[in-house]
Amino acid sequence: MKYFILSTFLLISLCTFSQSTLKGEIKNELNEPIAGATIYLQEVQKGTTTNFDGFYSLKDIPEGSYTVTVRMLGYQTKKEKVGFTSR
């Protein structure tokens, strides 16, 4: 089974009204983009998929701490904790 080594760049940018955006790129162990991977925040029941170049964006995330789950058929599932705070 392939290992899901993520070069996940969780670029968190803050927007107005304490709503944040989670942006990033998903790549495999050969540093190739993974198209069609699913990114999901269970706590707020929001998700998206990566585009052909492996990029994704999830908007309007309220302040808090979340578990980001990344899944793709043929790869191991990856989970990471992220936090969103207002400045």
Tell me which residue of 10, 15, 9 sits closest to 86, measured CA to CA.
Answer: 15
- Going from N- to C-terminal start, the domains of the chain cover 11-84
Look up the pTM and report it. Answer: 0.74
For 20, residues 6+ apart whose C-beta sits below 8 A from its C-beta are 12, 13, 14, 61, 62, 63, 84
Smallest CA-to-CA distance from 58 within 13, 4, 6 is with: 13
- Size (the chain), residues: 87
Q: Are 58 and 14 in contact (CB under 8 A)?
A: no
pLDDT in tens, the chain (87 residues): 444 444 443 333 333 345 788 999 999 999 999 999 999 999 999 999 999 999 999 998 999 999 999 999 999 999 999 988 765
- Considering the domain delimited by 11-84, tell me its CATH architecture: Sandwich (2.60)
